[in-house]
Amino acid sequence: MERSMTRDANTMRACLRLYLVTDPLLCAKAGLLHTVREAIAGGISMVQLRDKTATTEERIAIGRALMRVLHGTGVPLIINDDIDAALAIGAHGVHVGQSDLTPRIVRERMGPSAIVGLSCETVAQAAAADPLLVDYVGMSPVLATPTKRDHAAALGFTGLEAARAATTLPAVAIGGMHLEHVTRVMRTGVDGIAVVSAVCGQPDPRAASLALRQAIDEAVRDMTHPRIPNALTIAGSDPSGGAGIQADLKTFAAQRVYGMAALTALTAQNTRGVAGVHVVPPVFVLQQLESLFDDIRIDAVKIGMIATADIATTVADVLEERMRGPVVLDPVMIAKGGAELLRPDAVDAVRTRLLPLATVITPNLAEAAHLLNMPMASTRAEMETQATLLRALGPQAVLLKGGHLTEERSPDCLVTSDGVHWFDGPRVATANTHGTGCTLSAAIAAGLAGGGNLLTVVRTAKQYVTDAIASAHRLTVGHGHGPTHHFHNLWNR
């Protein structure tokens, strides 16, 4: 690649698609040159020589060998924080951190056609990057990474999204990046992903790079030509249609998401209560899940009624191995009419196996108290404490629903890595509240399946449920706790 071509922003974005940062220790067994050669064959679009322990002379020797490997591939070589080495070998550019040489010095020494990359660890640093001096920013670390022990606090996906929004420069995400992170990271708007251990030290660098490149390209295509998201509910059946998979599938449809369902239990119930429960054998739950994962792209999973410890373990095993997208867990324990829907021996399995897999869990006050073996929260302060304690059990976020508080409004408390967020809504005076928990968690799963930000998704889902409850008077279903109106925004009559 000619230097004069690389400062074009569109060319730069293409180069950042899959960026390999070398690690001499991880590449030692297979050899750095072999690793890079195979990685390029797999789809790497830019290479950075990073070796903090080498001398400039050693970097020059390695860099010259890399330039020979890269010759004719169109893949640029960037040198980490060593202008002398970059100039000596004719590298395409230099990448510096916030504590290294300034971009102005690098630009002055490297010249107008060289690539200058800058690491940004905060939103403020990304916003301050000067487009006249810098060609791209590396936003890092997204996640904690063992390959750079002196890194700043991890941005997380929310922080990455904010940092990306702070600059118009081409941007690449780096720090703990692996195949399972690709879709979520690309949805933040970055132009590519930089990897270290996901390729360096892998048994087959070409295959590892190919899998990453295909996932990145697919994510880019999805954003350019959006697909209808697919969401799976793993829950029990409610023949009255107000809760369970029936409520979930209606919610998915109302949110313009293709819905699928794996049954864990059949119930005999109506708006007045549950008459019986028939638990699906765990082996058949497994068969349902394997059939779906073997054939269909699943963008999000919602988990509802689990019923038994064996089913909880079965579901956890499958999701742990095969699910790479968001998981929403609604820890259903007691039906609206008081029937027990989760056996006592299953609570520990939910707590230890499913909670750590969840992107967000959505317990009500009684369910939170049961999971924590604590009295039920009766104030907002107690809600915040219990939501924080639940998050310590493993889920990325906890949405604790405060509908049972004796307040005029209905407060929900969301605790994430970014802190505590409150969502207040009007308390609707109605008996049509059957399946509201199922509906809320399904709406959140639908929003996450479409790539939404958790805070925005929760706010939208809560409003959807509030409107569904407020519109439920248009339905005449049963004589007890009636269902919400899942299609209130679609059935105009």
Residue 132 is assigned to a ligand binding site: no
C-alpha separations of 354 from 52, 244, 385, 421, 447 in Å: 41, 18, 21, 23, 20
What is residue 242's DSSP assignment?
S
Enclosing H/E stretch for 260: strand 258-270
- CA dihedral (247, 251, 254, 259) positive or negative: negative
Task: Output phi, psi for 199, to 5 deg.
Answer: -125, -50
Residue 99 is assigned to a ligand binding site: no
Question: Of 133, 216, 213, nearest to 167 (Cα)?
Answer: 133
Residue 291 is assigned to a ligand binding site: no
376: CB partners within 8 A, 6+ apart: 365, 366, 368, 369, 404
- CA dihedral (385, 390, 396, 398) positive or negative: negative
User: 129, 95 in Cβ contact below 8 A?
Assistant: no
What is residue 27's DSSP assignment?
T
Residue 176 is assigned to a ligand binding site: yes
Tokens coding 103: 């971009």
C-alpha separations of 378 from 52, 196, 368, 406 in Å: 55, 48, 12, 8
Q: Which residues pair with 265 in a beta bridge?
A: 236, 279
Residue 52 is assigned to a ligand binding site: yes
Residue 345 is assigned to a ligand binding site: no
With H, G, I as helix, E, B as strand and everything else as coil, classify residue 89.
Answer: helix
User: 333, 304 in Cβ contact below 8 A?
Assistant: no
Residue 314 is assigned to a ligand binding site: no
What is residue 364's DSSP assignment?
B
Q: Which residues pair with 322 in a beta bridge?
A: none
Distance, CA of 471 to CA of 468 (rounded, Å):
5
Residue 188 is assigned to a ligand binding site: no
159: CB partners within 8 A, 6+ apart: 123, 142, 418
CB atoms within 10 A of CB 152: 16
275: CB partners within 8 A, 6+ apart: 268, 269
Residue 310 is assigned to a ligand binding site: no
Residues acting as catalytic residues: 401, 433, 435-438
Residue 237 is assigned to a ligand binding site: no
Residue 29 is assigned to a ligand binding site: no
User: 428, 470 in Cβ contact below 8 A?
Assistant: yes
Residue 51 is assigned to a ligand binding site: yes
Bind-site residues: 48-52, 80-81, 100, 119, 145-148, 176, 196-197
> Which residues does the annotation place in the binding site for Mg(2+)?
81, 100
